[in-house]
Every structure is written in structure tokens, then in C-alpha cells.
């Protein structure tokens, strides 16, 4: 692809992410060289404001955004000399989105550089490109997080086909709710991952739900099956429940993703989203890819969970294909993957 003058070599993009729980900012050069990436939950910013910062409230994003952006700029050693500012415009809560979008537009205007609106789901797909810039397309991407479970065929940059998704709960949500039910704490994904290593994944045969559509997922029934099993067998070993539950989720995710990759002649499988940090899922995807001659693209865990480096990378590509986003484009709480801001 010929780089446009707007996104040529050495283009520095400041990315801003406020769509959900994390306030994040990052500076990325040429869509793959991460110069800085700051995520609010990973830094101790609480001391500066005193007390606990509520994570969901848009007010928290307001309080955290300036220091997070400042830190990303300082770590990157840039002082206003970025070439574009990208921000997540959706999907997400309107109040939270507006914080990042307004800040990004303001900075773009002040610095006289383009603003780029980014789709949060598309940004997750670009996490793989941060570490594998020349990743051969088409690939099948399994995007699994607390809020989303999507199986996507990425045919070209900016061109996606939604193959399937959850019909009820997201995979990450199932992890969190089962973890809370088992008393393993929050966040539930890492807690189950940890406890499951002590348990037998074959101890309990939890159901593998198969919805009507080939590439859809369903995790609500599994969650209820875990609850029912523990109610009936209070003496059951928690580690066995965690391991068997995790195996049921991973089984379905891997089976369907492999089938999709084979059906569509994909070069490989990309993982994205917070659940992509799950060690059992990574292990199973790796094994499956090796077994079937597919390339595994497994971004490091810090790039799987919500971050702004992926927003900057997606912004770079969007700038190259479509140019700047008009400043009258607002936040879109209900944005879907195949609709561009």
C-alpha cells in the first residue's frame, strides 16, 4: 500500500482510549513501533488525586486523562510534535467516550494535526500488527474480552467480515462471573487461570454449547451449569471446577476459530482482547496452529487488554486509507466493527 503523505514513514500518532474502564494514552510510530503506552490501572495515579478513583465513571476519565497523556508524551520524549491524534469514538459509554474524543480533537486543533476517530473493536484487531507489522492477510481474529466475543475474518486492512459472536454473555464476562461465584476474586480471568493450573480440566464435563449458527458462541448456559453443579456438589474441589470451566470455554473458542480459519483459507489465527491473555487459550491456539500449519499471532498480554497503542496503530491505518476524520464526527456508543466512524 502506498503511504499517503498523512501517514508516511516516521509518522508519530498519539492514541487515546477512554471507552471502558481504562484511561490510556500511547505514542506509536508507523503503526508498530510503540514508543510509550500508559494505562491508568497500571500506574499509581491515585496518590495524585487522593482516595479511590471509581473506574467506570466518566469523571474518572476526566481526572486521569491529562496525567496519562502527559506521561505518555514524556516517556516518548515528544512535546507536541506528533503527526496525528487518534481516539476511540465507540463502542462504549457515551460519557466516557466523549472525554477521550474531546481531548483528542482539542489537542489536534492546538497542534494543527489531523484527528482520527477509531473503532475500539478495530483497534483490538490491530494489536497483532504492533508486534507483527507484516502479518499476512487474510487472518481469522478471535476477539474475546469482558464486553465482546467476536470471530472476524480480516481480509485486508479496514476490510472485515463478522463470522460470528456471542448470543448471550461475552467470554470474559463468563470468566468474571464464575470467578466471583467461586469466591476467587476480581479480575476473574487471571484468578481462574491461576487456580485452574491446580485442577483437573477433565474432572467435570461441563456442556459445550453449540448455537445454531456455525461461528456463534453461547456462555450463559455454561455459567448456569457451573452454578448448578456447585450447588449440588458443595464438596467439589474449586480448582477442578475452575479448570473444567476454563477447558469448556477454551474448547469451544479454539474449535470454532480453527474451523473458520480453515474454511476461509486464513494464513493464521490472531488473538485479541483481554481473554487472549489466558494462558490455556494461548497454549491451545499455539498447539492447534502448529498442528494445522497456521501462523499463531498472539500479542503480548499488555496489548491484548485495553490500551492506547492499538488505538494509535488503528488510527495510523485509518489515516492512511481515509485521511483525517472530520471534527464534527462525534462519539458513537453503539458502533459495530464493520461501521467506520
Partner 1 sequence: MIVAATRSVGETRALAAALAELARPGDLVVLAGDLGAGKTAFVQGYGAELGVTERITSPTFTILSSYQGRLPLHHLDVYRLDQVEEAYDLGLAELLDEGGVTLIEWGDTILPALPTDYLEIRFLLGDHDDDRRLELVGVGARWAARTRALRTALRPWLVDDAQVGEAPTADGGAPC
Residues in the site for partner 1, rule: CB under 8 A? 20, 54-59, 91-95, 145-147, 165-170, 172-173, 176-177, 180-181, 220, 223-224, 227-228, 333-334
Least gap, CB of 299 to partner 1 (angstroms):
20
List CB contacts of 174: < 8 A, sequence separation 6 or more. 219, 220, 222, 223, 249
CA gap 277, 302 in Å, rounded: 8
User: Cβ distance 303 to 39 under 8 Å?
Assistant: no
Closer residue to partner 1, CB minimum distance, 102 or 321: 102
Distance, CA of 55 to chain centre = 17
User: Shortest approach of partner 1 to residue 119 CB, angstroms?
Assistant: 14
- Closer CB to partner 1, 127 or 261, in the complex: 127
* Shortest distance in whole angstroms from residue 177 CB to partner 1: 5
Nearer to partner 1 by C-beta: 91 or 138? 91
* H or E element in which residue 297 lies: strand 295-297
Angle at alpha carbon of residue 305, lines to 300 and 309, rounded to 5°: 75
CA separation for the pair 285, 270 (Å, rounded): 9
In the complex, the smallest distance separating the C-beta of residue 100 from partner 1, rounded to whole angstroms, is 15
Shortest separation between residue 174's beta carbon and partner 1, angstroms: 9
Task: Report yes or no: 301 and 7 within 8 Å, Cβ to Cβ.
Answer: no
Nearer to partner 1, 15 or 92 (CB): 92
Of 108 and 178, nearer to partner 1 (C-beta) is 178
Amino acid at each position: 500500500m502506498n503511504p499517503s503523505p498523512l501517514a508516511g514513514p516516521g509518522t508519530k500518532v498519539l492514541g487515546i482510549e477512554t471507552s471502558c474502564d481504562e484511561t490510556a494514552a500511547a505514542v506509536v510510530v508507523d503503526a508498530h513501533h510503540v514508543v510509550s503506552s500508559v494505562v491508568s490501572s497500571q500506574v499509581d495515579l491515585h496518590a495524585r488525586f487522593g482516595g479511590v478513583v471509581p473506574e467506570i465513571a466518566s469523571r474518572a476519565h476526566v481526572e486521569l486523562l491529562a496525567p496519562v497523556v502527559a506521561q505518555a508524551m514524556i516517556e516518548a520524549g515528544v512535546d507536541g510534535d506528533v503527526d496525528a491524534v487518534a481516539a476511540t469514538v465507540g463502542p462504549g459509554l457515551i460519557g466516557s467516550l466523549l472525554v477521550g474524543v474531546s481531548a483528542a480533537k482539542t489537542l489536534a486543533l492546538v497542534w494543527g494535526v489531523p484527528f482520527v476517530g477509531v473503532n475500539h473493536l478495530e483497534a483490538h484487531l490491530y494489536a497483532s500488527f504492533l508486534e507483527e507489522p507484516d502479518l499476512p492477510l487474510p487472518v481469522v481474529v478471535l476477539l474475546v474480552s469482558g464486553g465482546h466475543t467476536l470471530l472476524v475474518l480480516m481480509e485486508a486492512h479496514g476490510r472485515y467480515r463478522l463470522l460470528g459472536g456471542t448470543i448471550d454473555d461475552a467470554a470474559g464476562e463468563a470468566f468474571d462471573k464464575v470467578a466471583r461465584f467461586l469466591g476467587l476474586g476480581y479480575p476473574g480471568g487471571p484468578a481462574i487461570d491461576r487456580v485452574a493450573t491446580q485442577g483437573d480440566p477433565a474432572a467435570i464435563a461441563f456442556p459445550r454449547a453449540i448455537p445454531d449458527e456455525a461461528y456463534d458462541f453461547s456462555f450463559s448456559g455454561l455459567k448456569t451449569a457451573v452454578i448448578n453443579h456447585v450447588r449440588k456438589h458443595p464438596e467439589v474441589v474449586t480448582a477442578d471446577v475452575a479448570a473444567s470451566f476454563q477447558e469448556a470455554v477454551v474448547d469451544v473458542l479454539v474449535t470454532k476459530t480453527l474451523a473458520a480459519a480453515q474454511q476461509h483459507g486464513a494464513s493464521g489465527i490472531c488473538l485479541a482482547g483481554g481473554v487472549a491473555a489466558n494462558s490455556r487459550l494461548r497454549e491451545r491456539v499455539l498447539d492447534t496452529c502448529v498442528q494445522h500449519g497456521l501462523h499463531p499471532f498472539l500479542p503480548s498480554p499488555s496489548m491484548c487488554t485495553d490500551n492506547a497503542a492499538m488505538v494509535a496503530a488503528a488510527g495510523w491505518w485509518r489515516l492512511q486509507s481515509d485521511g483525517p476524520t472530520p471534527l464534527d464526527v462525534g462519539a458513537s456508543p453503539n458502533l459495530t466493527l464493520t461501521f467506520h466512524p
